Amino acid sequence: MTTTRRALLGAAAPLLAAPILPAGAQARLQMATPYPDGNFHTRNVRSFLDEVQAATSGRVQVQLHSNGALLPMPQIKGGVQRGQVQFGEILVSAYGNEDPFFEVDSIPQLATNHADARRLLEVSRSFVEARMQRQGLTLLYMVPWPPSGFYTNAPVESLDSLRGTRFRTFNVMTNRFATLIGANPVLVQAAEVPQAFATGVINAMITSAATGVDTSAWDYARVFTPVGFTLTRNGVFMNRRALEGLSAADQQAIRTAAATAETRGWQMSEEAQRVAEAMLASRGMTVARPSAGLMEAMARVGETIATEWQARAGEDGQRVLAAYRAARS
């Protein structure tokens, strides 16, 4: 760990023990996100933090550390829980090893478009909030990535095309998917994807078009095949004690700005899907529409994983899937 990083983390922790701030006092807080500045999630976070500062008349100021500069993504949630930083952003499903319910939005082919992803959010939000609350966190808002697709150097005519590939994974569900289709799962964080392709650590992956643009996918892949695999959600959250240490008015200002950020973020996600796919095509990649046979095979694998997830998630999982399916129909 660098001297700068140690200094920042050391300075952040004492804020959590502070009492409610007197009128006019300033809270200078820290936030860690794993995504680069140009990513729509990060741009949305910056707008959120600016709005918090404006709404609190500068009483709450938050320094954003993007692209994993302060904490890498696997350490962000724990860092906020311990009070090393006060705000964090994570891919929620990446923490499925803590609780399978965090994986609800990463069940393949369950929600393949933004309308269905919104329905899934509505029936599952309270369960995610409750789990984070028990961990000393307050969930502020969630925004999905655009629908995912395959990145390869040859067309994906069927799932057999991916058998034996070194397949990049980033959560429990993508790992299970790779195993079920006969690929070799390899855990790689988003920032490490270009190097992993370049060195042969991976030669296929499934992720959003936005991540493809972030990582200059045209440098390592020739074909993008959007299949609507998932619209996994990023969650922005705060250390609960740090939030409760602020005045009631400033707490409400943060919640109001978070609601605005969620609405804006969903709009940005839909736009990012269109813009990112167009960017991939403009850089010479083939954006290939999937065959009916490929989509049927994807649905079968998705159903298998949904059944497995429901067994691990227990009664809450059953309730959410039943509510979601009812909402869709």
The answer to the question of residue 8 being in a domain is yes
- The answer on 249 and 282 residing in a single domain is no
- pLDDT, one tens digit for every residue, the chain (329 residues): 444 444 444 444 444 434 444 445 577 899 999 999 999 999 999 999 999 999 999 999 999 999 999 999 899 999 999 999 999 999 999 999 999 999 999 999 999 999 999 999 999 999 999 999 999 999 999 999 999 999 999 999 999 999 999 999 988 899 999 999 999 999 998 889 999 999 999 999 999 999 999 999 999 999 999 999 999 999 999 999 999 999 999 999 999 999 999 999 999 999 999 999 999 999 999 999 999 999 999 999 999 999 999 999 999 999 999 999 999 98
Mark residue 90 as left, alpha or beta (left: phi above 0; alpha: psi -120 to 50; beta: remaining): beta
Residue 241 domain-assigned (yes or no):
yes
| 109 within domain boundaries | no
Which residue(s) pair with 206 in the sheet?
150
Structural domain boundaries enclosing 159: 148-230+278-328
User: What CATH number corresponds to the domain at position 293?
Assistant: 3.40.190.170
- How many structural domains comprise the chain? 2
In a shared domain, residues 80 and 178: no
273 closest CA partner among 149, 128, 126: 149
Q: Does 73 fall in a domain?
A: yes
Q: Residue 123 domain-assigned?
A: no
Does 172 lie in the same domain as 314? yes
Residue 120 lies inside a defined structural domain of this protein: no
Please tell me whether residues 254 and 283 are part of one structural domain: no
Residue 111 lies in a domain: no
Segment (H or E) for 88: strand 87-91
- Return the half-sphere exposure (C-beta side, CA atoms, 13 A cut-off) of residue 175: 12
- Which two three-digit tokens encode residue 263? 């609405």
- What pTM was computed for the model? 0.86
**Distance of alpha carbon 227 from alpha carbon 208, whole angstroms:** 10
Spatial strand order of the sheet with 27-32 comes to: 60-65, 27-32, 87-91, 233-239, 137-144
CA dihedral 49, 51, 52, 58 (to 10 degrees): 100
Determine the Cα–Cα distance for residues 111 and 148; give it in Å rounded to an integer: 11
**Distance, CA of 17 to CA of 142 (rounded, Å):** 27
